[in-house]
Chains A and B, each alone.
Chain A
Amino acid sequence: DTEVTQTPKHLVMGMTNKKSLKCEQHMGHRAMYWYKQKAKKPPELMFVYSYEKLSINESVPSRFSPECPNSSLLNLHLHALQPEDSALYLCASSRLGLAYNEQFFGPGTRLTVL
């Protein structure tokens, strides 16, 4: 299984809503990532989890709250978002170690904040 899955595919939320994005992989990868991508731009790193612990937070606003319940799952909790947070949110996973930097991406969640 070389797939990263993400749910939901699309999400529309108001600025007062609380929602969560979910990501799952069964490749045995111990690093998982959240990226934000605007149209026709490269992905921007938000968070990195290594061995289920948060290792990198790229100064992301606290209205985005990541969670890694176990080695296969990654969540992104959303609260009080702004319209400018509308984007494609991508999850990725990889092995850990100097020689294993291939990141595999999920299909993304298209988020629209009204």
Chain B
Amino acid sequence: GQQLNQSPQSMFIQEGEDVSMNCTSSSIFNTWLWYKQDPGEGPVLLIALYKAGELTSNGRLTAQFGITRKDSFLNISASIPSDVGIYFCAGQVPGANSKLTFGKGITLSVRP
């Protein structure tokens, strides 16, 4: 089946730094979603992407839908302590009938 690769498993950055996360696959996706999950809470949708090459921002977050439709990245600029959490990418392949494929997630830690 389809797999989404997110690595590394954990990232440690200094407050104020920018950070970039990638999500890659060997399969083509027609939707890319980025979620953030805090401990004990449900995932919160950050950005949704629907077109190859699309670049979308949401405050300090910017995400892009790769031209090949096999990857996406999420950038967080000027990180703050509340950016701590697990970031999941999720994608939908054509004809997947509402099913999402999730990456394994990246745990982000921000040092003050």
Interface residues on B, range: 20 to 34
| B42 x A108 contact (CB < 8 A) | yes
Return the chain B residue nearest A45 by Cβ.
B99
| B92 x A41 contact (CB < 8 A) | no
Return the chain A residue nearest B4 by Cβ.
A42
Q: Is the interface of A mostly helix, strand, loop or mixed?
A: strand
Identify which of A4, A43, A55 contacts B102 (C-beta below 8 A): A43
Identify which of A48, A90, A102 contacts B45 (C-beta below 8 A): A102
Q: Which 8 residue pairs of A and B lie closest in terms of their CB atoms, listed nearest first?
A: A42-B102, A105-B42, A101-B31, A108-B42, A102-B48, A107-B42, A105-B43, A101-B92
Residue numbers in A under 8 Å from B30 (CB-CB): 98
| B99 x A56 contact (CB < 8 A) | yes
Return the chain A residue nearest B50 by Cβ.
A99
Residues facing B in A17-59 (CB within 8 A) are: 31, 33, 40-43, 45, 48, 50, 55-56
| B102 x A106 contact (CB < 8 A) | no
Task: Tell which of B31, B90, B98, B100 has the most Cβ of chain A within 10 Å.
Answer: B98
| B42 x A103 contact (CB < 8 A) | no
Residue numbers in B under 8 Å from A103 (CB-CB): 33, 45, 90, 100
Residue numbers in B under 8 Å from A4 (CB-CB): 42
Show 16 A/B contacts (Cβ-Cβ < 8 Å), sorted by A.
A40-B86, A41-B104, A43-B102, A48-B97, A88-B40, A96-B98, A98-B30, A99-B50, A102-B45, A102-B48, A103-B33, A103-B45, A105-B45, A107-B41, A108-B40, A108-B42
| A55 x B97 contact (CB < 8 A) | yes
User: Known contacts A103-B100, A108-B41: does B33 contact A40 (CB below 8 Å)?
Assistant: no
Residue numbers in B under 8 Å from A88 (CB-CB): 40
Complex CA–CA separation, A79 to B35 (angstroms): 31
